[in-house]
Structure 1
Amino acid sequence: MGVNLSEEIRQPFTSYTDAVKWINSLIPFGIRPGLERIQRMMEHFGNPHRRLKFVHVAGTNGKGSSCAFLSSTLQECGYDVGMFTSPYITKFTNRFQFNGEDIPEETLLDLANRIAPVAKELAASEWGSPTMFEVSTALAILYFAEVCYPDVVVWETGLGGRMDVTNLVTPIVSLITNVGMDHTDILGDTLEDIAREKAGIIKPGIPVVSCVSQPSIIAVLKETAKEKGSTLYLLGEQFRYERGESSARTQSLRFEGPFRAMDIELSMLGEHQCTNAAGAMMVLEVLRQYMAFVLEEEQLLAGFRKAFWAGRLEQVSEQPRIVLDGAHNPEGAEALARSLTEAFSYRKLNLMMGMLANKHHREYLEHILPIVDTLILTEPDFRKKMDADSLYQLVEQLRRNTAKADLEVIVERDWKRALALLQSRTEREDLGVVTGTLYMIADVRATLLHQTDSEKGW
Structure 2
Amino acid sequence: MKQSIESTNGFESYTEAVNWVTGLVAEKGMRPGLKRMEWLMKKLGHPERRLKFIHVAGTNGKGSTCAFLTNVLLRNGYDVGTFTSPYMTKFTDRLRYNGKDIEEEQLLALANEIKPLAEELARTELGHPTMFEVTTTIAILYFAKVVFPDYVVWEVGMGGRLDSTNVVLPVISIITNIGHDHKEFLGETLEEIAAEKAGIIKPGVPVVTTVEQPEALAVIERISAKHHSSLYRLGQEFSYEPISAELHRHIFTFESPFRRMKELQISLNGHHQFKNASAALMAIEVLRQYQALIIEEEDLYSALKDTFWPGRLELAGEQPQLLLDGAHNPEGAASLANALTTLYSYDRLHIMLGMISGKEHEAYLRQLVPLAHTLIITEPDFHKKYAAADLAYTAQEIVRELGSEVEIRVERDWRKAMEALQQMTGPGQLALVTGTLYLISDVRARLGGQAQNEKGW
- TM-score w.r.t. structure 1 length? 0.96
Partner SS state of residue 255, structure 1 = strand
In structure 2, what is the equivalent of residue 246 of structure 1?
A: 245
In structure 2, what is the equivalent of residue 4 of structure 1?
A: none
Distance 1:34 1:111 in 2: 23
Distance 1:207 1:49 in 2: 19
Please tell me whether the aligned partners of residues 315 and 322 of structure 2 are also in contact (alpha carbons under 8 angstroms). Answer: yes
Distance 1:399 1:318 in 2: 29
Distance 2:451 2:363 in 1: 36
Is 2:435 the counterpart of 1:436? yes
Report the CA distance between 1:452 and its aligned residue. 4.6
Distance 2:181 2:388 in 1: 20
After superposition, the C-alpha distances for 1:231-269 in whole angstroms (9 at most, x for unaligned) are 110000000111122222221111111111113111100
- Do the aligned partners of residues 30 and 313 (structure 1) sit closer, same or farther apart at CA in structure 2, a change above 3 Å counting? same
Counterpart amino acid of 2:385? K
Where do residues 384-423 of structure 1 align in structure 2 (5 Å cutoff)?
Answer: 384-402=384-402, 405-423=404-422
Please tell me whether the aligned partners of residues 316 and 449 of structure 1 are also in contact (alpha carbons under 8 angstroms). Answer: no
In structure 2, what is the equivalent of residue 445 of structure 1?
A: 444
After superposition, the C-alpha distances for 1:406-455 in whole angstroms (9 at most, x for unaligned) are 21111111111110110011101000000000111111111112135732
In structure 2, what is the equivalent of residue 3 of structure 1?
A: none
Counterpart amino acid of 2:419? A
Alignment length, in residue pairs?
Answer: 449
After superposition, the C-alpha distances for 1:375-399 in whole angstroms (9 at most, x for unaligned) are 1111111111111111111112111
In structure 2, what is the equivalent of residue 142 of structure 1?
A: 141
Report the CA distance between 1:25 and its aligned residue. 2.0
Is 2:366 the counterpart of 1:366? yes
Counterpart amino acid of 2:47? P
In structure 1, what is the equivalent of residue 64 of structure 2?
A: 65
Report the CA distance between 1:196 and its aligned residue. 0.2
In structure 2, what is the equivalent of residue 280 of structure 1?
A: 280
Partner SS state of residue 365, structure 2 = helix
In structure 2, what is the equivalent of residue 22 of structure 1?
A: 20
- Do the aligned partners of residues 355 and 431 (structure 1) sit closer, same or farther apart at CA in structure 2, a change above 3 Å counting? same
Counterpart amino acid of 2:24? L
Please tell me whether the aligned partners of residues 378 and 413 of structure 2 are also in contact (alpha carbons under 8 angstroms). Answer: yes
Counterpart amino acid of 1:250? R
Counterpart amino acid of 1:30? G
In structure 1, what is the equivalent of residue 152 of structure 2?
A: 153
- Do the aligned partners of residues 247 and 120 (structure 1) sit closer, same or farther apart at CA in structure 2, a change above 3 Å counting? same
Is 2:199 the counterpart of 1:203? no
In structure 2, what is the equivalent of residue 305 of structure 1?
A: 305
Report the CA distance between 1:10 and its aligned residue. 8.2
Please tell me whether the aligned partners of residues 369 and 402 of structure 1 are also in contact (alpha carbons under 8 angstroms). Answer: no
Partner SS state of residue 456, structure 1 = coil
Report the CA distance between 1:277 and its aligned residue. 0.4
Partner SS state of residue 23, structure 1 = helix
Please tell me whether the aligned partners of residues 136 and 164 of structure 2 are also in contact (alpha carbons under 8 angstroms). Answer: yes
In structure 2, what is the equivalent of residue 344 of structure 1?
A: 344
Distance 1:130 1:213 in 2: 35
Partner SS state of residue 88, structure 2 = coil
In structure 2, what is the equivalent of residue 173 of structure 1?
A: 172
Partner SS state of residue 265, structure 2 = strand
Counterpart amino acid of 2:410? V
Please tell me whether the aligned partners of residues 366 and 402 of structure 1 are also in contact (alpha carbons under 8 angstroms). Answer: no
In structure 2, what is the equivalent of residue 44 of structure 1?
A: 43
Distance 1:76 1:444 in 2: 30
Distance 1:406 1:216 in 2: 38
Counterpart amino acid of 1:23? V
Where do residues 257-272 of structure 1 align in structure 2 (5 Å cutoff)?
Answer: 257-262=256-261, 263-272=263-272
Please tell me whether the aligned partners of residues 91 and 455 of structure 2 are also in contact (alpha carbons under 8 angstroms). Answer: yes
In structure 2, what is the equivalent of residue 105 of structure 1?
A: 104
In structure 1, what is the equivalent of residue 3 of structure 2?
A: none
Report the CA distance between 1:182 and its aligned residue. 0.3
In structure 2, what is the equivalent of residue 79 of structure 1?
A: 78
Partner SS state of residue 212, structure 1 = coil
Report the CA distance between 1:400 and its aligned residue. 3.1
Distance 2:394 2:317 in 1: 30
After superposition, the C-alpha distances for 1:138-189 in whole angstroms (9 at most, x for unaligned) are 1000000010000000001111011111110010000000000000000111
Partner SS state of residue 56, structure 1 = strand
Counterpart amino acid of 1:321? Q
Where do residues 372-387 of structure 1 align in structure 2 (5 Å cutoff)?
Answer: 372-387=372-387
After superposition, the C-alpha distances for 1:330-359 in whole angstroms (9 at most, x for unaligned) are 000000000122221111010001011210
Please tell me whether the aligned partners of residues 362 and 394 of structure 2 are also in contact (alpha carbons under 8 angstroms). Answer: yes
Gaps of at least 5 residues in structure 1 are 1-8
Distance 2:371 2:402 in 1: 9
Please tell me whether the aligned partners of residues 354 and 436 of structure 1 are also in contact (alpha carbons under 8 angstroms). Answer: yes
Please tell me whether the aligned partners of residues 438 and 455 of structure 2 are also in contact (alpha carbons under 8 angstroms). Answer: yes
Distance 1:402 1:91 in 2: 40
Partner SS state of residue 25, structure 1 = helix
Q: Which moved more, 1:178-187 or 1:445-454?
A: 445-454
Where do residues 84-99 of structure 1 align in structure 2 (5 Å cutoff)?
Answer: 84-99=83-98
Distance 1:292 1:413 in 2: 53
Q: Give RMSD over aligned pairs.
A: 1.2
Distance 1:435 1:453 in 2: 19
In structure 2, what is the equivalent of residue 13 of structure 1?
A: 11
Report the CA distance between 1:402 and its aligned residue. 3.5
Partner SS state of residue 242, structure 1 = strand
